[in-house]
Amino acid sequence: MSLTGGTATGVPVSWPHWVRANVGLAMAALAGRSRLRAVQGTGARVLAAGLATIVVGAAAMVFADAQLAAAAKHLPGWVHAAFAFVTDFGKSGWFLVPIGMMLAAIALIASPALASLSRLVLAAIAVRAAFLFAAIAVPSLFATIIKRLIGRARPFVGNAADPFLYQPLVWRVDHASMPSGHATTAFAAAIAIALVWPRLRWPMLVYAVIIAASRVALDAHYLSDVIAGAFVGVIGALLVRDWFARRNLGFVVDANGAVHPMPGPSWSRIKRVARGLIAP
């Protein structure tokens, strides 16, 4: 099958019309009222994780932040170079740009000109891509805003590693240390990808830990900053998952209130649909 811009009945299709229609349907599904029962234990888990993060983060501020910041100054040059290279992979654009392009492409090509099976496969891919986008973008945006409201100084601002130096509401980059944006993005991406593809959970966890370590090694953040970022990323991604699950989008809530991923199209079916889209 090839895309001709027409429907199965020969009536021409306006691509801008279908793009607007597809985006509108997606927004309506995401913003609609929940159709399933609430996820059990979410509030308790968030509270427990938040309290644990506060305790561990406070201990890091008192006993480890300044010491690790000073020790990072004496790391070998090759270690700094390696971390300087990998740390950029903690930026949200590495995930959001390609996922956004995929969603835009699906919105463009999903029209009545396609067979029913192709539309269903594209819809399943779009739901999972939208989840990945939201699960990374929402906690990353939250961290970007809250870190500037908190106003914690980065290591060696003022020529000293002072973990207790704050200037709230200044909205300056040098006072935007907590939480770490890179750590937030990395852990949000690790959780989101692991929820869609469980086999990737360990490689993604290693990735997130390396990104978080790079921020401390480069004296861009304190240890407590990346601990806070990990909390925001993990909890943010899980809350986005619960939002999707209660709307029956990519996840489902069982009778006990637990969330499970829905089965998606197989790789063989995706490849078959892709071949149909590009075939002459």
Between 32-36, 42-46, 106-110, 152-156, the lowest mean confidence (pLDDT) is in: 32-36
Query: pLDDT at position 4, please?
Result: 37
Residue 57's contacts (CB-CB under 8 Å, 6 or more residues apart) are: 224, 227, 228
- Is 184 exposed, middle or buried, given 0-12, 13-18 or 19+ CB atoms closer than 10 A? buried
Between 113-117, 177-181, 226-230, the lowest mean confidence (pLDDT) is in: 113-117
Q: Which of 99, 102, 138, 126 is nearest to 22 (CA)?
A: 126
Residue type, 150: I
Residue type, 266: S
pLDDT (average), residues 54-68: 97
Mean pLDDT of the chain: 87
Q: What is the pTM of this model?
A: 0.89
Q: Which of 176, 153, 173 is nearest to 163 (CA)?
A: 153
Between 148-152, 170-174, 190-194, the lowest mean confidence (pLDDT) is in: 170-174
CB 22 within 8 A of CB 129: no
Domains and CATH numbers, the chain: 43-240 (1.20.144)
Tens-place pLDDT, residues 35-44: 656 677 778 8
- Is 92 exposed, middle or buried, given 0-12, 13-18 or 19+ CB atoms closer than 10 A? buried
Query: pLDDT at position 7, please?
Result: 45
Provide the pairing of β-strand 259-261 with 251-253: antiparallel
